[in-house]
Amino acid sequence: MKILQLALYMVVCVAISVIAFPALAQDAELATGATQLPWPVSPLEWSGNINGEEVNVTGSFEDIFPHLGLGYPQIPPNDDHLANTTAVSNIKHTASGEVESALVERATTGKWNTLCIPIRGWDWQRAYVWALKVVIYNFSAVPGVCKIPAHSCKRMQCYYGSTVYVCNDSDREVRPECKYLGSFVQDIINLCSVNRENPKITRAGGQEFEIEGYNVIVKQESCGW
């Protein structure tokens, strides 16, 4: 009888661990990424108008998309919609594809500084550009605002290891348009890509700042996709 009870106990423990493991793994991945950010990470907060009604969602883009009648992720049919998202004139590259100067004047948009990986003080790695284009496309599908409380970071999206965070350095909550945040990712692609000659392995990563006190970080990080 004791042997039977022990066997039953072991089966129950294994079942519980199997159920709990995915959630624990996801939390661990997020915690690992959070240690490489300037502020603590909390779930994304979104507010938008759908069919004339205000909708508020706390969670992730995967939680927002069902309210929009969409599945996540949306895959872009082509890259044409990305062609004119930011000014790329007068950008010079080295023979290896590195950007000679990543500082581009953006007084009309509020963006004031872009840093390309490697960035002093942060052990960030570049992300795949082909995956970042999917991230940008999904930003473009989301109306409304993404709320970023003071002194916090939000993981906006993570697709095949290509991750985008928004971090708020200011003392007040900021509410940028979600679609606008995608343009930061495109800026970093335009300014910080390496191995441009081969789209399959082109990578980019960096950090771009906004005059309202927040910044967008693009880097490699483990995720569910």
Output 189 or 27, whichever has higher pLDDT: 189
Question: Domain residues for 142?
Answer: 36-220
Helix extents (H) in the chain: 2-34, 61-64, 129-140, 178-192
How many structural domains are present in the chain? 1
Distance CA 179, CA 221 (A): 22
User: Would you say residue 133 lies in a domain?
Assistant: yes
Asked if residue 122 lies in contact with residue 33, where contact means CB atoms within 8 angstroms, the answer is no
What percent of the chain is predicted at pLDDT more than 90? Answer: 63
| Model confidence pLDDT, tens digit, residues 106-117 | 444 689 899 999
User: Would you say residue 69 lies in a domain?
Assistant: yes
Question: 163 pLDDT exceeds 90?
Answer: yes
What is the maximal distance between C-alpha atoms in the chain? 80
Which three-class secondary structure state does DSSP give residue 60?
coil
Question: 140 pLDDT exceeds 80?
Answer: yes
HSE of 131, CA atoms in CB hemisphere, 13 A = 22
Residue 45, pLDDT score = 95
User: Would you say residue 8 lies in a domain?
Assistant: no
| Model confidence pLDDT, tens digit, residues 184-200 | 999 999 999 999 999 89
Residue 225, pLDDT score = 58
Q: What is the pTM of this model?
A: 0.75
Residue 145, pLDDT score = 97
Task: Give the pLDDT band of residue 27 (cuts 50, 70, 90).
Answer: very low
User: Would you say residue 85 lies in a domain?
Assistant: yes
What tokens does 101 get?
A: 């100067």
Asked if residue 199 lies in contact with residue 129, where contact means CB atoms within 8 angstroms, the answer is yes
Strands (E), the chain: 44-50, 53-59, 111-116, 127-128, 145-147, 152-159, 162-168, 203-204, 206-210, 214-220
Residue bearing tokens 């709320």? 147
